Amino acid sequence: MGLKVCKFGGSSVADFERIRAVASRIADMKYNGDDVVMVVSAMGDTTDDLLALSAQISPKNNKRELDFLMATGEQQSAAYMAMMLNSLDVPALSMTCFQAGIGCDGEYGRASLSFIDPARIQDEISKGKVVVVAGFQGIMPNGDVATLGRGGSDTSAIALAAALGADECLIFTDVDGVYTTDPRIVKTASKLEGITHEEMLELAALGAQVMNPRAVECALQNGVSFEVRNSHNREKGTLVTSADRLEGTRVISGISRDNNVAKIAIFDVPDEPGIAGKIFRAIASKGVVVDMVIQSAVRGKSNDIAFTVTRDQLERAVNVVNSLVDSLGASGMSYGKGVSKVSVVGAGVMNPGVAGDVFQTMADNGINIEMISTSEIKISMIIEASCAERAVAALHRQFRLENVH
Amino acid sequence: MGLKVCKFGGSSVADFERIRAVASRIADMKYNGDDVVMVVSAMGDTTDDLLALSAQISPKNNKRELDFLMATGEQQSAAYMAMMLNSLDVPALSMTCFQAGIGCDGEYGRASLSFIDPARIQDEISKGKVVVVAGFQGIMPNGDVATLGRGGSDTSAIALAAALGADECLIFTDVDGVYTTDPRIVKTASKLEGITHEEMLELAALGAQVMNPRAVECALQNGVSFEVRNSHNREKGTLVTSADRLEGTRVISGISRDNNVAKIAIFDVPDEPGIAGKIFRAIASKGVVVDMVIQSAVRGKSNDIAFTVTRDQLERAVNVVNSLVDSLGASGMSYGKGVSKVSVVGAGVMNPGVAGDVFQTMADNGINIEMISTSEIKISMIIEASCAERAVAALHRQFRLENVH
């Protein structure tokens, strides 16, 4: 018994049948004496449908107006969910950000939560009601509605769990939890019982599709533990929490792959102070986010500099670099989309021998590593995209992840 | 040049083609130097579609939740309209009641406007923007969204025109204006150039479908003149204003018919003080609104009392009366739906001879009058429903309304 914050994504509330199943699950929680605050996404493809409709008006609509439109998707699913709960004799009411007291700031379309004033929610909980909050949205300082961007409903749920001091935060999705790697690539992938925020963050950021990294960051910052569960069954999922609340430590928790990668190389950049800063400031000024960067060891008086961006930002980055090559005195550039990033994630990744095992495994499988970057809990490699699935499978075997939990 | 408040109903924004036509009309106003605040209804059948969907969950959904759901219809059309204006290079933004500062109170599903704080709207107008307000909704004292009931968008527009001190208020709909009677019944019906609020109120309340009476009452109370226009063409419509702003006076402005009428009669009610009060208080306590009431002259020691209600409230009214007949000492009751109300409306209806002309016209056409009620500007008659169209046509001819304007 306690207060549960439960978030249900779009596929979990895709139609009235699914909404009924979810409502029935919440009814059981209430029956067991729990208080429940739900956070719901828009039903199924609603958000994409609204985007497609608005694109008929103009391909480049004002982001503020898009947010006003998108916000209605979550409002509708919240209202339907409250109605469904009422029809099961569970007292419930829906709330948008205006009633739930959820504030945000930043840019329309990808605003950040700035405050939560949960007074009204707490009042309704104390009256025995299930509160259904429209996720993905907040009130801007000027009183507008803004959306939090993709994955925003997860963030809404985690921030609400923090503000309400909830006993549990459950993120319901359409997978059973967090796996050691993508089960569609490696059949023997294991579901993890627990994982640290940091590990989850690397897995999320590196292309494991379970959760958006912003939501995991929010949980890390606020010390919120949450469990990723499947809304289609009643199995235990994966608990994402701090290291000190997990029993034991695994060396490696998972292998992830990210195909949304493109690389750019600039050849023979003169070895002068400040030249890297010049390049990457120019790129950043166009809104391009650079991921991995490597600079080769000095070969005489010049270096090659290579870096990666997401594929949709490649064209913009190439334009910037093209316009710089001459003024930098570089000899030329190349770029390509045919690469993937494969990463080994785990608290023990910096243990002696792990990096060696990783690189040897790649060599044993005849896979060339083009770029390497490391952090405290991951080793990432850029390789040819056609080798990525083979690399993931080989690393999964190497670290015996089929039996991890 | 000045500030125009323009309201567009659901059929005027039924699809993107219609929204484009409306936006282009507004663009012309801006080009001519006017400032514009728009109030829009939900697109076409959106409200009915949302109601039908929610009925799949439960036939009796909570009114608060229905309001949360319904409000999204207007939000979406406001956002689409703002996007369309932007695509025509007209700076525009959408607002819900939260940004527009529109407050209401009363019951969910039929709340009444309580205040308007137009600061944000004025600010955006001063920046040269067209403001597109989602009609039909307001903020309740507890911070919830509530809808104003059918016709609520007209009320939103008129209240905004009052709060903003607008120079013009234009109610765009799918008819050319207010007619002397329903053109579907009488082919020679004429469009009126001007009409008083009071006359419009009688025509609206009596079944002329152009506008909801609540909106007209709001205009009367706030001294707002407005013009009813067709959104499908650029003709002049009908100006609804105060008597002193209309040139000349017509004896009769129009003939209306209302089929949503049912009558109930109670026979041989003892002639005792307070007995009518007892009956109508009991009926009112069940939420039934009584329209016309007649009590026959005293026949010995008892009277017959007859009254009308709307057809959907008949069953409830009959139940109340049934339970009263014995305790009142009445001899019985009867009821029926087969009646209509036909009304003659005009500032000169109380002129000598008009009532006589009305009743003689009915007699000449062999139509029996079952009940009569009169006010300063109307004479209403309950007649057999099957005679109603004939009565309207005959009265229209009698008062030569084919040439009025």
Is the predicted pLDDT of residue B225 greater than 90, yes or no?
yes
Torsion angle of the four alpha carbons A228, A231, A234, A237, in this order, in degrees rounded to the nearest 10? -10
Per-residue exposure over A294-327, b if at least 16 CB sit within 10 Å of its own CB, e if not: beeeeeeebbbbbbbbeeebbeebbebbeebbee
Structure tokens at B303: 């009277």
Is the predicted pLDDT of residue B374 greater than 70, yes or no?
yes
CA distances from A268 to A263, A294, B28 (A): 17, 14, 58
Q: How far is CA B309 from the centre of its chain?
A: 17
pLDDT of residue A310: 92
* Burial (CB count <10 Å: 0-12, 13-18, 19+), residue B312: exposed
Q: What is the pLDDT of residues B273-326, one digit of tens each?
A: 788 888 899 999 988 989 888 877 666 677 888 899 999 999 999 999 999 998
Contact B82 A62 (CB under 8 A): yes
pLDDT of residue B159: 95
Residues 6+ apart with CB under 8 A from B108: B63, B64, B66, B67, B140, B144, B146, B147
Q: What is the pLDDT of residues A169-197, one digit of tens each?
A: 999 998 888 889 888 888 899 999 999 99
- Ramachandran sector of residue B211 (left: φ over 0; alpha: ψ -120 to 50; beta: rest): beta
CA distances from B84 to A54, A71, B12, B87 (A): 9, 18, 14, 5
**Could you tell me the pLDDT band of residue A167, with boundaries at 50, 70 and 90?**
very high
A111-120, B326-335, B381-390 — which is least confidently predicted? B326-335
pLDDT of residue B329: 87
What is d(CA B139, CA B116) in angstroms, rounded to the nearest whole number? 10
What is the identity of the amino acid at B137? Q
Mean pLDDT computed over A105-112:
93
- Longest Cα separation, chain A: 78
Is the predicted pLDDT of residue A237 greater than 60, yes or no?
yes
Contact A65 B83 (CB under 8 A): yes
What is d(CA A224, CA A240) in angstroms, rounded to the nearest whole number? 9
Contact B72 A75 (CB under 8 A): yes
Q: Is B226 on the interface with A (CB under 8 A)?
A: no
What is d(CA A108, CA A106) in angstroms, rounded to the nearest whole number? 7
Nearest to B83 among A16, A54, A75 (CB): A54
* Higher-scoring residue by pLDDT: B72, A246: B72
Is the predicted pLDDT of residue A333 greater than 70, yes or no?
yes
Count of other CB atoms within 10 angstroms of residue B393 = 18
Q: At what angle do helices B314-328 and B275-284 cross, to 10 degrees?
A: 150
Average pLDDT, chain A: 91
Is the predicted pLDDT of residue B248 greater than 70, yes or no?
no
- Ramachandran sector of residue B274 (left: φ over 0; alpha: ψ -120 to 50; beta: rest): left
Q: Phi then psi for A386, rounded to 5 degrees?
A: -70, -15
Element (H or E) spanning A228, and its range?
Answer: strand A226-230
Q: Where in chain A is the domain with CATH 3.30.70.260?
A: 262-336
Contact A86 B145 (CB under 8 A): no
Mean pLDDT computed over B336-351:
90
Structure tokens at A223: 């010390």
What is d(CA B253, CA B360) in angstroms, rounded to the nearest whole number? 19
Give 3-state DSSP helix, strand, coil % of chain A, rounded to 5: 40, 25, 35
What is the identity of the amino acid at A6? C
pLDDT of residue A348: 86
Is the predicted pLDDT of residue A205 greater than 70, yes or no?
no
Paired sense of beta strands A145-147 and A194-196, if any: unpaired
pLDDT of residue A201: 86
Q: Is A98 on the interface with B (CB under 8 A)?
A: yes
What is d(CA A231, CA A186) in angstroms, rounded to the nearest whole number? 23
pLDDT of residue A174: 86
**Could you tell me the pLDDT band of residue B205, with boundaries at 50, 70 and 90?**
low
Residues 6+ apart with CB under 8 A from A60: none
pLDDT of residue B297: 63
What is the identity of the amino acid at A380? S
Is the predicted pLDDT of residue A248 greater than 70, yes or no?
no
Q: Which residues of B touch A72 (CB under 8 A)?
A: 72, 75-76, 79
Q: Is B76 on the interface with A (CB under 8 A)?
A: yes
**Could you tell me the pLDDT band of residue B142, with boundaries at 50, 70 and 90?**
very high
- The DSSP-derived string for A73-129 is HHHHHHHHHHHHHHHTT--EEEE-HHHHTEEEESSTTS-EEEEE-THHHHHHHHTTP
Q: Which residues of B touch A19 (CB under 8 A)?
A: 57
Sign, Cα dihedral of A297, A302, A306, A307: positive
Q: Does domain A262-336 have CATH number 3.30.420.10?
A: no
Residues 6+ apart with CB under 8 A from A267: A304, A330, A331, A332, A333, A334
Count of other CB atoms within 10 angstroms of residue B268 = 18
**Could you tell me the pLDDT band of residue A297, with boundaries at 50, 70 and 90?**
low
Contact A69 B57 (CB under 8 A): no
Mean pLDDT computed over A398-405:
85
Q: How far is CA B283 from the centre of its chain?
A: 24
pLDDT of residue A203: 80
Q: Is A123 on the interface with B (CB under 8 A)?
A: no
Ranges A366-380, B99-113, B171-185, most confident: B99-113
Say how many CB pairs under 8 Å bridge A and B: 113
Q: Is B90 on the interface with A (CB under 8 A)?
A: no
Q: What is the pLDDT of residues A28-87, one digit of tens each?
A: 999 999 999 999 999 999 999 999 999 999 999 999 999 999 999 999 999 999 999 999
- The DSSP-derived string for B158-206 is HHHHHHHT-SEEEEEESSSS-BSS-TTT-TT--B-SEEEHHHHHHHHHT
Q: Measuring CA to CA, which residue among B11, B4, B3, B5 is closest to residue B210? A: B11
The pTM score is: 0.83
Q: What is the pLDDT of residues A262-290, one digit of tens each?
A: 999 999 888 877 888 888 999 999 889 89
* Higher-scoring residue by pLDDT: A151, B390: B390
Nearest to B94 among A68, A78, A143 (CB): A68
Residues 6+ apart with CB under 8 A from B160: B5, B37, B39, B100, B102, B116, B118, B121, B133, B166
Structure tokens at B359: 């009743």
Residues 6+ apart with CB under 8 A from B227: B168, B169, B170, B171, B236, B237, B238, B239, B240
What is d(CA B7, CA B384) in angstroms, rounded to the nearest whole number? 37
Q: Does domain B3-174 have CATH number 3.40.1160.10?
A: yes
Contact B98 A143 (CB under 8 A): yes
Q: Is A119 on the interface with B (CB under 8 A)?
A: no
A82, closest residue in chain B (CA to CA): B65
- Percent of chain B exceeding pLDDT 90 equals 68
* Higher-scoring residue by pLDDT: A405, A63: A63
* Higher-scoring residue by pLDDT: B157, B202: B157
- Percent of chain A exceeding pLDDT 70 equals 97
Mean pLDDT computed over A4-17:
95
pLDDT of residue B247: 66
- Percent of chain B exceeding pLDDT 70 equals 97
Mean pLDDT computed over A3-12:
95
Mean pLDDT computed over B4-16:
95
Is the predicted pLDDT of residue B403 greater than 90, yes or no?
no
Q: Which residues of A touch B144 (CB under 8 A)?
A: 99
Paired sense of beta strands A238-241 and A332-336, if any: unpaired
Q: Where in chain B is the domain with CATH 3.40.1160.10?
A: 3-174
Contact A336, A312 (CB under 8 A): no
Q: Which residues of A touch B64 (CB under 8 A)?
A: 93
Is the predicted pLDDT of residue A214 greater than 90, yes or no?
no
Average pLDDT, chain B: 91
Q: Is A63 on the interface with B (CB under 8 A)?
A: no
B130-134, B203-207, B339-343, B370-374 — which is least confidently predicted? B203-207
Q: Phi then psi for B21, rounded to 5 degrees?
A: -65, -45
Paired sense of beta strands A369-375 and A339-345, if any: unpaired
pLDDT of residue B62: 94
Contact B82 A68 (CB under 8 A): yes
